[in-house]
């Protein structure tokens, strides 16, 4: 019995060292060597200041900016420490009420245009940094009007920031909202 206890304790210590310390350290060093930007959070700097990450969405509410999709992460949304969707079923009254409120708020910004579903529903993580090209297109008239730009110029920026499917077949086309808004400020700053 004493021998079996000693073997199990040693086995626990050895596996803890290898799989709890050595392996994570190896993977971290390898990731930083091969993918340094991604391993450090894909951070975005502007004017010498950290403004966000390519990987984590953030709220934009000013009318001169493109808006992100809604977030269910945390009580106020976009809380990276509380990442997660609402997990409401499509028939849940709270979800229906929230989607209806989002539709009512968005409809006046582009009357008569169909509202893309990702502008009124949350992502699984609640932190999606991207919107669909259709969602960006829906917002073009409002952003152009608020910035005093032509819709054609705003559409050109959306097109510039539209990414296709990863490796041509994974995911859906998308537009990173933070990148697009930073480019908007660079091209046509608000005074």
Residue 44 pLDDT: 84
Q: How confident is the model over 145-161, as a mean pLDDT?
A: 95
Residue 14 confidence (pLDDT) above 90: yes
Closest CA to 77 of 115, 120, 122: 122
Q: CA-CA distance, 143 to 151, in Å (whole number)?
A: 8
Give Cβ neighbours of residue 171 (< 8 Å, ≥ 6 apart).
Answer: 165
Residue 88 exposed, middle or buried by CB count within 10 Å (0-12, 13-18, 19+): middle
Q: What are phi and psi of 30, to 5 degrees?
A: -60, -45
Tens-digit pLDDT profile for residues 42-52: 888 888 888 88
Residue 156 pLDDT: 96
For the chain, the first-to-last Cα distance in angstroms comes to 78
pTM, 2 dp = 0.79
H helix runs in the chain, sequence order = 2-17, 23-34, 36-39, 93-106, 133-147, 151-161, 177-187
Residue 191 pLDDT: 66
Q: CA-CA distance, 187 to 61, in Å (whole number)?
A: 20
Closest CA to 69 of 121, 25, 5: 121
Residue 141 pLDDT: 96
Residue 153 pLDDT: 95
Domain boundaries, the chain: 1-40, 43-187
Q: CA-CA distance, 142 to 65, in Å (whole number)?
A: 9
Q: What are phi and psi of 96, to 5 degrees?
A: -60, -40
- What is the three-class DSSP state of 116? coil
- What is the three-class DSSP state of 174? strand
Tens-digit pLDDT profile for residues 87-128: 788 898 988 998 899 899 899 999 889 999 999 988 878 788
Residue 149 pLDDT: 94
Between 16 and 40, the more confident residue is 16
Residue 144 confidence (pLDDT) above 90: yes
Please, which pLDDT band fits residue 56 given cuts at 50, 70 and 90?
confident
Residue 85 confidence (pLDDT) above 80: no
DSSP string, 119-130: GTS--SSS---E
């Amino acid at each position: 019995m004493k021998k079996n206890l000693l073997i199990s304790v040693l086995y626990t210590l050895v596996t803890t060292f290898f799989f709890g310390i050595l392996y994570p350290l190896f993977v971290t060093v390898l990731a930083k060597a091969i993918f340094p930007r991604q391993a450090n959070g894909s951070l975005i700097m502007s004017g010498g200041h950290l403004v966000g990450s390519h990987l984590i969405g953030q709220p934009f509410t000013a009318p001169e900016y493109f808006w992100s999709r809604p977030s269910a992460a945390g009580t106020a949304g976009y809380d990276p420490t509380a990442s997660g969707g609402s997990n409401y079923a499509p028939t849940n009254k709270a979800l229906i009420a929230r989607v209806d409120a989002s539709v009512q708020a968005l409809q006046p910004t582009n009357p008569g245009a169909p509202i893309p579903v990702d502008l009124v529903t949350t992502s699984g993580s609640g932190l999606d940094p991207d919107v669909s090209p259709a969602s960006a297109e829906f917002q073009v008239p409002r952003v152009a009007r608020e910035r005093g730009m032509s819709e054609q110029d705003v559409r050109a920026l959306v097109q510039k920031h539209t990414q296709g499917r990863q490796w041509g077949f994974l995911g859906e086309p998308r537009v990173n909202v933070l990148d697009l808004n930073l480019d908007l400020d660079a091209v046509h700053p608000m005074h």
